[in-house]
């Protein structure tokens, strides 16, 4: 069985290297299976968010543990802003991509793969957030709604890449002008970024629960 570069999914219980998928009596294209893996992970991130937030108070979801830290709402707003900032550039690049002529693995790119490794939770490196992506939304319902809309937009973008050589088209980062990556690598990076902040959200909620246990009132 041939294997391919999978996307981030460790905290979601997803395999990093899913195999070629069988469809009917034939085989799904390797690239299609890779894109399906990204779609599945994006969906699992949203579903896990629904589970984490169920029954939580507005205070839990808008509290900042420290003056320089983010609340759950701010994490969601940052994720939505990031996706909304990247998707137009990715869509434009996808429109320029040629069709795949062979059934092959989509490649991430060495530097992008290294960056994804630093994004994945539990992370050690912290990055300075560009001004463009600093969260502005404090209200949870607005932040959650915006995140869900951005997830739907991301899913549409991934689906639009089906059958295309998106690892052969590069896109310049809309937030770091010196960096560029191929489209498949950029999509993997967005999913890794979401996993990073979903893990951060889990840490926030665990800390809040711990504080309640120590100081019940």
| Beta bridge mates, 182 | 170
**pLDDT at residue 7 tops 50:** no
Q: Please tell me the distance from the alpha carbon of residue 121 to that of residue 116, in angstroms, as a whole number.
A: 10
Give pLDDT, residue 125: 61
Read off the pLDDT of residues 192-212 as tens digits, 9 standing for 90 and up.
999 999 999 999 999 998 876
What DSSP line would sit under 78-106, residue for residue? HHHHHHHHHHHHHHHHHHHPPBP-S--PP
The pTM assigned to this predicted structure is 0.84
108: confidence class by pLDDT, cuts 50, 70, 90: very high
Q: Yes or no: is domain 10-214 CATH 1.20.120.450?
A: yes
In angstroms, the CA 33 to CA 41 distance is 12
Confidence band for 213, pLDDT divided at 50, 70 and 90: low
pLDDT at 3 over 60: no
| Phi, psi values for residue 28, rounded to 5° | -70, 145
Is the pLDDT at 81 greater than 90? The verdict is yes
Residues present in the chain in total: 217
DSSP 69: S
CA angle 128, 167, 102 (to 5 degrees): 160
Using alpha carbons, select from 217, 72, 188 the residue that is nearest to residue 135: 72
């Amino acid at each position: 069985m041939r294997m391919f570069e999978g996307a981030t999914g460790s905290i979601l219980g997803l395999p990093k290297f899913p195999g070629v998928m069988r469809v009917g009596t034939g085989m799904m294209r390797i690239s299609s299976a890779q894109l399906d893996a990204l779609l599945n992970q994006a969906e699992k991130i949203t579903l896990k968010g629904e589970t984490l937030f169920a029954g939580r108070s507005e205070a839990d979801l808008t509290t900042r543990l420290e003056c320089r830290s983010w609340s759950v709402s701010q994490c969601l707003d940052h994720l939505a802003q990031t996706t909304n900032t990247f998707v137009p550039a990715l869509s434009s690049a996808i429109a320029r991509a040629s069709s795949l002529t062979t059934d092959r693995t989509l490649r991430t790119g060495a530097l992008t793969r290294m960056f994804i490794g630093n994004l994945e939770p539990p992370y050690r490196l912290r990055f300075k957030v560009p001004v463009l992506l600093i969260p502005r939304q404090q209200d949870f319902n607005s932040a959650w709604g915006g995140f869900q809309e951005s997830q739907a937009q991301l899913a549409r973008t991934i689906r639009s890449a089906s059958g295309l050589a998106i690892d052969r088209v590069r896109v310049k980062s809309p937030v770091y002008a010196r960096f560029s990556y191929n489209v498949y690598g950029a999509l993997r990076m967005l999913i890794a970024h979401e996993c990073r902040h979903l893990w951060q959200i889990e840490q926030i909620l665990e800390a809040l629960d711990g504080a309640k246990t120590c100081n019940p009132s």
